[in-house]
Amino acid sequence: MSKNIRNIAVLTSGGDAPGMNAAIRAVVRACSFYKIDCTGVYRGYQGLLDGDFENLDARSVRNVINKGGTFLKSSRCEDFRKPEGRKLAYDNLKSAGVDALIVIGGNGTFTGAQLLIDEYNFPVVGIPATIDNDINGTDYTLGYDTALNTVVEAIDKIRDTASSHNRLFLIEVMGRDAGDIALNSGVGAGAEEIMIPEESDSLNKLMKSLKISREKGKTSSIIVVAEGDKSGKNVFELADHINDDLDDYDYDIRVSVLGHIQRGGKPSCFDRVLASKLGVGAVEAILNGTYNVMIGVERKKVVQISLKDAIEPRHEFDQELRRVADITSV
């Protein structure tokens, strides 16, 4: 174990995700277990610039494991993008006696951290937390599993009313660059069609599928649309397009944008366990002298990937599940 680490700081940044509090808790408890100090940084990188720090001990994180959001709060920080902002952040960390920093967030958060590494060689470890699940080097990001449950519960409710009224519902879910939420929640909710940003011909496929459904006499349908869908239409335009194109059918089309409920809520057990593993893994990586990595999970094991690689755009998506979606929606 590295003898030089006596104080680890932790911050959350970017869009909040359920499980962030559980990850902070695990970081704090692991510091406590290994008898080192833990410094909480409020409001992400902004708090680094403002020196908005607080010492956290095991009691500081009682009763947070099951809370959504992040008690350290998050924010966008324009000033951290400037060299003088990062200088200030570095100086604040040093003068607070912080030896290493754990950042909890997504792609933007890690990109910021990488600058701190590149410019000041400050030891940083990342924990992937974003409901979008769009990070390399981990099977799952924090918050993703909870968001999926929130989405399927919402669609289950909408299906009640869709079935009662023979309606077609277009449901927009989050995922600007990654269709993971749409694809998984769509399969989970038994959606008739799913539109994801990774596919370019989604509109044609949708129209074909709707025509077949109508011919079969299907009277209600759920279509799940990722907000980043590449059809060139937002979900309201899509509703108009369907109405125009299928006007010989008597469709009653409704739109539902699930929005920010997807970011909140009590974390699922999966996310709480994942957060606990990643938080402990991050502290232990630092204590073992492994810096500038992201802690991820493969199967149930904690793994490490360089932050640089974690930041790279992710290109794969779950093609097998796409195929399953088509088969089970017959």
Judged by CB under 8 A, the chain residues 176 through 195 that form the site for a second copy are 184-185, 187-190
**Per rule CB under 8 A, is residue 58 in the interface with a second copy?**
yes
User: Please, are residues 174 and 257 in contact by the beta-carbon 8 Å criterion?
Assistant: no
Active site residue 132: yes
User: Please, are residues 163 and 192 in contact by the beta-carbon 8 Å criterion?
Assistant: no
Helices first, then strands: H and E counts in the chain: 11, 11
Q: Calculate the alpha carbon distances from 113 to 2, 42, 181, 198, 306 in Å.
A: 21, 16, 26, 28, 12
Q: How is 73-90 classified by DSSP, letter by letter?
A: -----SGGGSHHHHHHHH
In DSSP terms, 102 is beta-bridged to 10, 125
Residue 55: closest CA among 6, 89, 109, 17 = 6
Which of residues 94 and 260 has its CB atom nearest to a second copy in the complex?
260
In the complex, the smallest distance separating the C-beta of residue 9 from a second copy, rounded to whole angstroms, is: 18
Write out the E strands in 86-184: 100-105, 124-128, 168-173
Exactly one of 2, 111, 209, 329 binds a second copy (CB under 8 A); that residue is: 329
In the complex, the smallest distance separating the C-beta of residue 273 from a second copy, rounded to whole angstroms, is: 5
28 is an annotated ligand-binding site residue: yes
109 is an annotated ligand-binding site residue: yes
Please identify, among the stretches 89-97, 111-119, 200-208, 273-281, the one whose residues bind a second copy according to the rule CB under 8 A: 273-281
Please identify, among the stretches 121-129, 144-152, 196-204, 224-232, the one whose residues bind a second copy according to the rule CB under 8 A: 144-152
Distance CA 99, CA 244 (A): 61
**Per rule CB under 8 A, is residue 63 in the interface with a second copy?**
yes
In the complex, the smallest distance separating the C-beta of residue 18 from a second copy, rounded to whole angstroms, is: 7
In the complex, the smallest distance separating the C-beta of residue 257 from a second copy, rounded to whole angstroms, is: 6
User: Please, are residues 24 and 61 in contact by the beta-carbon 8 Å criterion?
Assistant: yes
Residues 11-50 that bind a second copy (CB under 8 A): 12, 15-16, 18, 20, 25-26, 29-30, 32-33
H helix or E strand, kind and range, residue 286 = helix 269-287
Which of residues 86 and 277 has its CB atom nearest to a second copy in the complex?
277
Exactly one of 89, 93, 148, 223 binds a second copy (CB under 8 A); that residue is: 148
Query: Which residue of the set 16, 37, 99, 132 is catalytic?
Result: 132
**Per rule CB under 8 A, is residue 212 in the interface with a second copy?**
no
How many other C-beta atoms lie within 10 A of the C-beta of residue 148?
Answer: 23
**Per rule CB under 8 A, is residue 253 in the interface with a second copy?**
no
Which of residues 86 and 272 has its CB atom nearest to a second copy in the complex?
272
76 is an annotated ligand-binding site residue: yes
Residues 6 or more apart in contact with residue 269 via CB below 8 angstroms:
none
Which of residues 268 and 292 has its CB atom nearest to a second copy in the complex?
268
Residues 283-312 that bind a second copy (CB under 8 A): 298-302
CB-count burial class (<10 Å; 0-12, 13-18, 19+) for 111: middle
**Per rule CB under 8 A, is residue 86 in the interface with a second copy?**
no
- Bridge pairing between strands 37-41 and 53-55: antiparallel
Give the residue ranges of the annotated binding site for Mg(2+): 107
Catalytic residues: 132
Give the residue ranges of the annotated binding site: 15, 25-29, 76-77, 106-109, 130-132, 159, 167, 174-176, 190-192, 216, 218-220, 227, 254, 260-263
